[in-house]
Amino acid sequence: MYWSIQEIARLTGITSRTLRHYDAVGLLPAVRTTASGPRRYDRTALVRLQRILLLRDLGLGLGDIAGVLDSEQDEASALRRHLASLRAEQERLTRQIASVERTVAALEQDPDAKEDIMAQDMLDGFDHTRYEQEVTERWGRDAYETGDTWWRGLGKEGQDEFKARVAALNQAWTEAGEAGIDPASDQAQELAARHAAWLVSVPGTPGHEQGRPDKGYLLGLGDMYVADDRFAANYGGTAGATFVRDTLRVYAERAYPDGES
């Protein structure tokens, strides 16, 4: 059975132009029933498209998506992992919805009871597990599982302390970026050192055992902060994320001699 490009576009909400681009770059080759006939898609193509959309939702670029698809030929196994990730996301969203509902209900009963709201865990569901699939794709399953075990072992008090530490670090980055501080300045480099120490405090982070992040990992994160809006938002937007990236680049060049990673 074959589906036309128009049918696929209607079913998925993807434009025909995007599908043609996927075909042109070899990401989603179409089938032609005749040499000059219109593009058609078979069942195999639909399964591949489903995987493409799942990976795209994780923020991966087309090149990275192609690499993942080429490295995981067992489609059923790959989709099972995606399914597990989606179910975890569904659980997180359920907790998040319940958390927001509790906050709304509390505010409607007593708009001044903000401290009481914080006493309830109104941030339940807003945690690291939403990045499970992405961390696994980028740095391996062991990295995620090691970090996840550490995180759960902290308990609520430890998790709250860690969240506060991250929030304070992000705020410091944002304020420094807005102030126009030179990435090479002592103040900026102190932030970079603080950032590096925070990264390797998490087991499973590349460089954790050595007490400092791998140079490639550190530089890659800086690039990701700028490229991914979800991370850029932590630093006040793209401009702030760019400041973080540039500061980390200076830090890496100073902290790691030539040839050292």
Q: Quick one: pLDDT at residue 33?
A: 63
The last residue of one of the domains, among 23, 40, 70, is: 70
The 3-state DSSP class for residue 113 equals: coil
* Structural domain includes residue 257: yes
- Among residues 11, 8, 39, which one has the least CA distance to residue 23? 39
Q: Quick one: pLDDT at residue 22?
A: 92
* Structural domain includes residue 147: no
* Structural domain includes residue 94: no
* Structural domain includes residue 261: yes
Task: Find out whether 79 and 50 touch, Cβ atoms under 8 Å.
Answer: yes
Task: Find out whether 141 and 85 touch, Cβ atoms under 8 Å.
Answer: no
pTM above 0.85, yes or no: no
Instruction: Measure Cα distances from 222 to 213, 244, 251 in Å.
Output: 12, 7, 11
The last residue of one of the domains, among 70, 87, 119, is: 70
Domain of residue 61: give its range.
3-70
- 97: tokens are 């919805």
pLDDT in tens, 97-121: 776 676 677 667 665 544 444 433 4
- Domain total for the chain? 2
Cα–Cα dist 250/18, whole Å: 38
Q: Is the pLDDT of residue 123 over 90?
A: no
* Structural domain includes residue 184: yes
* Structural domain includes residue 47: yes
- Residue 167 and residue 66 share a domain: no
* Structural domain includes residue 36: yes
* Structural domain includes residue 46: yes
- Residue 253 and residue 160 share a domain: yes
The last residue of one of the domains, among 22, 38, 70, is: 70
Mean pLDDT to the nearest integer, 136-162 = 69
| 89 compared with 189, residue with greater pLDDT | 189
Instruction: Measure Cα distances from 26 to 23, 30, 43, 58, 95 in Å.
Output: 5, 9, 17, 20, 39
